[in-house]
Structure 1
Amino acid sequence: MQPFVYEALPTRVVFGSGTVGQLRAEAERLGVRRVLVLSTPGRGEAQAREIAALLGDLAVGVHAGAVMHTPVNVTEKALQVVEELGADAVVAVGGGSTTGLGKAIALRTDLPQIVLPTTYAGSEMTPILGETQDGVKTTQRTPKVLPEVVIYDVDLTLGLPPAIAATSGVNAMAHAVEALYARDRNPVTSLMAEDGIRSLAQALPKIVGDPQDNEARTDALYGAWLCGACLGAVGMALHHKLCHVLGGSFDLPHAETHTIVLPHAVAYNAPAAPEAMERIARALGTSDAAQGLFALAGRLGAKQALRDIGMPADGIGQAVKAAVASPYWNPRPIEEVGLRDLLTRAWNGDPPRA
């Protein structure tokens, strides 16, 4: 076995059904008294108001301003609300957009965070924040943005539409996939990654077939937790770099972008990471990791072409240049010709090719 470093992250996790009922106790445990609840607009705001009611007199209000890719100007508006209400903590209710806003606030204020995930985004388990400004998405890793408490309540995910559950779940799988060939991978995260992929790969088709399958929803949320913990423990590679470029440059939907790009990024890296590919394929119950991921997305009814989610054809060259200009570490060298082929196939919706 190769030498390794494993650093456990100090987040308290509460997992189960009905666990949202422990929210006030968790807030009191943190010693906070003026909690601002964060959400996205619309349905997210209605849910956030229900959560605020559970906090009782500890809640000072709801701010339903979270949007995809955590734009800096959106964070600035939220900070004004934090200051006006004198909030001493935030509770983020929702998916990656709301979690991102909570992290952005914590980065600037060091306020404690409690996260109640309603999707399988996984970002609640990471010290990573991605922010967008002027069409460019940048990421940073700092303990300041790691939530203090994550409350996983399976009941909060039952209303997640199957189509969104599918892409959110594949997005979570992407975290575990890249953990298996990360530069700083270790045996602990590799075990978690393989089990996370397996749990989601088995649960997502069941959720699409029966959205009220509680056991499948539980397995999916468990898998998302594992995958998120992997992303929090080790570094990212080509797949995440491409998705950050595409999301920041063209404002593409986050989970759908990950779902489309993942099989192609895996195919690109397959020759340089055979052990990781074997583990991914085993978790999927297939013989080829990239093709297995592409087939899974198809079974889930997810979109498989970047052109179908709003990316312009002339954006391929722009994305390639951005990815090559400031690449993440990757097991296979980042080459412009190979990336252009990868993104062209992803734009067309073609099967991945090594």
Structure 2
Amino acid sequence: MDNFIYNGNAARVIFGRGTISRLAEEAERLSADRVLVLSTPEQADQAQGIAEVLGSRFAGLYSKAQMHTPVDATADALREVERLGANAVLSIGGGSTTGLGKAIAFRTDLPQIVVPTTYAGSEATPILGETENGRKVTKSDPRILPEVIVYDVDLTLTLPVAMSVTSGINAVAHAVEALYAREANPIVSLMAEQGIAAIARALPIIARRPDDPDARADALYGAWLCGVCLGSVGMALHHKLCHTLGGMFNLPHAPMHTALLPHAVAYNAPAAPEAMARIAQALSAKDAATGLFDLAQGLGASMALKTMGMPDDGIDPAVEQAMANAYWNPRVLEKDGLHQLLAGAYEGQRPE
């Protein structure tokens, strides 16, 4: 076996059904008696209802979280933190809300509790992606990692199938890139394979029976594993492209990941054959890239970036930005190859 280094991120994870009943107890463990609850506008009512579990520890609700975590939105939320004298944040929702909580914690070092309602997985990472002036920039810091994650399977039972699929593939992307990461190690690779397999077997069941608690638990468990992968090793081309397109064109996060992932995997396949074999095995498919495409498309996901708001003249500037300050990648970044990759994802073509 090759030498390796594994750094485990210290976070408390509570997983099961009905676990939001423990939120007040978890806030008490963090000595938090003024908890600011965060959500998107669409989930404000749900967040308000969950926040009631906090009792007197609930300080207020800020329901303006936005996709890709714009820095001006964070500045607005920080004014609410100060106004309320909050000494902790509780993020309820998907990656947008979790991102806002992380951005607040990075600037204030306030403790975080996260209640995920999608399969984003970002709650398990010390990584923050923020958007300013058309660019999305990531940073990693121990302050960004949430102290407590409360996974409640019951909260995912009504997650729409379409969102479940793209959110699940978004999570799979973290594990896929972990398998060919520069810092890949056997511990993370085990979690990556298990995470991909759990989500891949859960999503078809969820598509048929959205309220199946066992399938929902499998998907949520897989999302956590994939999130741990994202927080443990570096990412590569796929995530660089998603950050580029998200920052430039404000594309919807999970659908964008879903459309791009098969093409990024196909691009990297010649340089990472062992990782591709493990991905294909976890998917129960013959090929990693086409297996990912067929899984997502077969469950109704749109596979064309042009349907998500990417302009037809956006490919060339996206390639230029992606190649500037590029992430490490197992295959050298080539301008023509990236153009072909994005063109295929733009049209929604099945990778070859």
TM range (shorter): over 0.9
1:9 aligns with 2:9: yes
Report the alpha carbon displacement of residue 159 of structure 1 after superposing the two structures with TM: 1.4
2-side partners of 1:142 and 1:2: how far apart? 28
What is the SS of the residue equivalent to 1:114?
A: strand
2-side partners of 1:308 and 1:22: how far apart? 41
Equivalent residue number for residue 21 of structure 2: 21
Report the alpha carbon displacement of residue 352 of structure 1 after superposing the two structures with TM: 1.2
Report the alpha carbon displacement of residue 30 of structure 1 after superposing the two structures with TM: 0.8
What is the SS of the residue equivalent to 1:116?
A: strand
Q: TM-score, normalised by structure 2?
A: 0.99
Report the alpha carbon displacement of residue 333 of structure 1 after superposing the two structures with TM: 0.4
Report the alpha carbon displacement of residue 202 of structure 1 after superposing the two structures with TM: 0.4
1:272-310 Cα deviation digits (max 9, x unpaired): 000000000000001100000000011110000000111
1:33 aligns with 2:33: yes
2-side partners of 1:108 and 1:45: how far apart? 24
Structure 2 counterparts to residues 177-256 of structure 1, below 5 A: 177-256=176-255
What is the SS of the residue equivalent to 2:41?
A: coil
Equivalent residue number for residue 265 of structure 1: 264
Equivalent residue number for residue 161 of structure 2: 162
Residue identity opposite 1:158 in structure 2 = L
Residue identity opposite 1:31 in structure 2 = S
What is the SS of the residue equivalent to 1:50?
A: helix
1:55-109 Cα deviation digits (max 9, x unpaired): 0000110000101000000000000000000000000000000000000000110
What is the SS of the residue equivalent to 1:182?
A: coil
2-side partners of 1:328 and 1:121: how far apart? 21
What is the SS of the residue equivalent to 1:26?
A: helix
2-side partners of 1:223 and 1:204: how far apart? 11
Equivalent residue number for residue 110 of structure 2: 111
Structure 2 counterparts to residues 69-84 of structure 1, below 5 A: 69-84=68-83
Question: How many equivalent pairs are there?
Answer: 352
Give me the identity figure in percent: 64
1:126 aligns with 2:118: no
1-side partners of 2:115 and 2:274: how far apart? 35
Equivalent residue number for residue 100 of structure 1: 99
1:102-123 Cα deviation digits (max 9, x unpaired): 0000011000000000000000
Equivalent residue number for residue 145 of structure 1: 144
1:152-200 Cα deviation digits (max 9, x unpaired): 0000111110000000000000000000000001000000000000000
What is the SS of the residue equivalent to 1:138?
A: strand
Q: What residue ranges of structure 2 are gaps of 5+ in the alignment?
A: none
Structure 2 counterparts to residues 56-95 of structure 1, below 5 A: 56-95=55-94
Q: TM-score, normalised by structure 1?
A: 0.99
Report the alpha carbon displacement of residue 351 of structure 1 after superposing the two structures with TM: 1.0
What is the SS of the residue equivalent to 2:345?
A: helix
